[in-house]
Structure 1
């Protein structure tokens, strides 16, 4: 497994930590030269995984809220997003780390063309 890949613009090393810091695969910028990057090989697969994972994560948040409401009735009045962030965020963090690993290991980075 490789430890870094070069930026297509400045040739500085990009590590897995840099990929974990990107908010989405569509808004990647080199932390060294600030060049906008795009990934062309794995993004369709990640979009397909997101279409499957997001409803599952929503269902998980609702299920956790329903479970906790049986023990703590006040939880019914709390918005589901807060329950999800409090109890299910580690699962979401693993999903984001998986995305970073896939893009880092299998992705094809290119410079984004200016429009």
Structure 2
């Protein structure tokens, strides 16, 4: 079973993502910001990360840059999940190592499609 880390400061988004991803046979861990997510990755590097952009403590972009230099940090497929629709910001995230992105709000169909595109479903 594949392991996915859901990183979002919204408990509601984490809960919705958890339900969808568990229905897709993923084991789920959660983090509410980038620093907590780095701790999770140090303890157990996931196969996938669903990552919010705007969070306190450490945002998704800073987390992604830190993740990609960690041991095995290039392993997880990272899907940004954001309300950020600025093309320059999205391009910057992709350049930093994101594999794909989705816009909030999302549903199971959208999430499954993006995970399939990056080879996770």
Q: Specify which structure has the bigger relative contact order, considering alpha-carbon pairs within 8 angstroms and separated by 6 or more residues.
A: 1
Judging by fraction of residues, say which structure has more helix.
Answer: 1
Judging by fraction of residues, say which structure has more strand.
Answer: 2
Which interval holds the TM-score relative to the shorter structure? Answer: under 0.3
Normalized against structure 2, the TM-score is what? 0.21
